[in-house]
Structure formats: C-alpha cells, structure tokens
C-alpha cells in the first residue's frame, strides 16, 4: 500500500471513530508518521462485525483474534483503533509507538493486557460506563471543537435564523411596496389637482 492509499485508508477509518477520539488519533498518527508509517487496520466495528470476528477460531475456522464479543470492545463505540506500522511491521517497536500514543492521551493495549496493535481512549471510563452510554470528552486542548450534537444544534439555530430573517425581509419589502403605492396615488392626485387649477385660471 503506497503512502497516498495508506493515508486515504487512515482518513476513511478515522471518519468512523468517536468524535472526541478523532483529533487525538490524527495527532498521534502525524507524530508517528516518520518513524512508523502507521496504517489503521480497524477503527469502529459494529456489534455484528465484532461477533463475526469473535466467532473466528471458535465456531468458525481461523485463528482467535479477539476476546471480546459484540458490545465488549472499545472498537464497538469508536474508541479504539488497531495499527499496523508499515515500517517494521509486527516487529516494529510497539513500546515506542505506545509511548508516542500516551503523549496524546491514548492508551496502548486493551483492558490491562497488551494487545500490540490496539490503541484506545477511555478518558477514565470503564467498559461498563461506555456500554451505558457514557463517552469520554474532548481533551482540553481540543475543547474548542464541537460535538456532533452541538453541531446539529448550531445548524438548527442557523436555519431558524435564516427563516426568521427571510420573514422579516418579506415584511419590509411588503411595507415598502405599500408605501410606494400610497406615494404614487398621491402623486396622481396632485397632478389631477394641478390640472384643475390650471383649468380654473384659463
Ligand atoms: Zn483493537
């Protein structure tokens, strides 16, 4: 996979992860680019996809690749990525990669055991918290970014403002039209009066 394809692949997979995790991953990949050329193998996984890979090596052929069933992995909440370093492959210095990740608030490994390609963001939450709908917030340095919900709210406010403004503009245009009509009626009357006066003077 060449650099352009790899970066496109990374962008696609980043677009599926949870929004507060995105800027961390973008910065982490950038910082490790030179040394590792990281490629994201997995980002978000649906519960169904998770169950399918859980079956691998158990009820389906293949090697066991995960200990998590659907809903038991941070991947299922868009809070984990698996990384393959194009430089070094599986022999790359993952500890070093883990150290870089840590600089950006990202944990290396999964729930206590070291799963080399796995990196996640919990923000102090347990898996159970996340299963119950809690999500880690933006880190302070990314705090100027809006969440999806805030973005939707902002869009709605702007749409309402637009509608409101259009109504106001329509009303003003109507008022101007009315005023103009009144003025032109007055003008006609004036002309008529002047004519009558002229006639009187004859
Ligand atoms: Zn993983």
**What are the residue ranges in the chain where pLDDT is below 50?**
none
Q: How far is the CA of 51 from the centre of ligand 1 (A)?
A: 14
pLDDT at 143: 81
pLDDT in tens, 7-28: 999 999 999 999 999 999 999 9
Length of the chain: 202
Categorise residue 36: left if φ over 0, alpha if ψ from -120 to 50, beta otherwise.
Answer: alpha
Buried b (16+ CB within 10 A) or exposed e, 53-62: bbeeeeeeee
Residue with tokens 């950006």: 104
Q: How far is the CA of 201 from the centre of ligand 1 (A)?
A: 102
Q: How far is the CA of 132 from the centre of ligand 1 (A)?
A: 20
Q: How far is the CA of 154 from the centre of ligand 1 (A)?
A: 34
Name the residues around ion ligand 1, CB cutoff 5 A.
80, 82, 118
Q: How far is the CA of 118 from the centre of ligand 1 (A)?
A: 4
Q: How far is the CA of 64 from the centre of ligand 1 (A)?
A: 13
d(CA 133, CA 170): 45
Q: How far is the CA of 77 from the centre of ligand 1 (A)?
A: 12
CB atoms closer than 10 angstroms to residue 9 = 14
Q: How far is the CA of 11 from the centre of ligand 1 (A)?
A: 17
């Amino acid at each position: 996979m060449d650099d352009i394809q790899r970066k496109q692949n990374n962008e696609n997979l980043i677009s599926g992860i949870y929004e507060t995790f995105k800027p961390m991953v973008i910065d982490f990949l950038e910082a490790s680019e030179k040394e590792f050329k990281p490629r994201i193998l997995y980002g978000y996984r649906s519960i169904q996809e998770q169950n399918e890979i859980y079956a691998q090596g158990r009820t389906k052929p293949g090697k066991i690749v995960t200990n998590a069933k659907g809903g038991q992995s941070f991947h299922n909440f868009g809070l984990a990525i698996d990384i393959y370093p194009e430089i070094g492959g599986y022999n790359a210095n993952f500890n070093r990669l883990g150290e870089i990740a840590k600089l950006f608030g990202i944990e290396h490994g999964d729930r206590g055991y070291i799963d080399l390609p796995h990196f996640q963001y919990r923000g102090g939450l347990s898996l159970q918290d996340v299963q119950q709908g809690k999500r880690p917030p933006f880190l302070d340095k990314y705090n100027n970014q809006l969440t999806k919900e805030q973005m939707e709210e902002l869009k709605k406010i702007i749409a309402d403002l637009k509608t409101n403004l259009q109504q106001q503009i329509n009303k003003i245009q109507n008022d101007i039209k009315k005023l103009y009509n009144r003025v032109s009626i007055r003008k006609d009357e004036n002309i008529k009066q002047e004519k009558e006066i002229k006639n009187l003077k004859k």
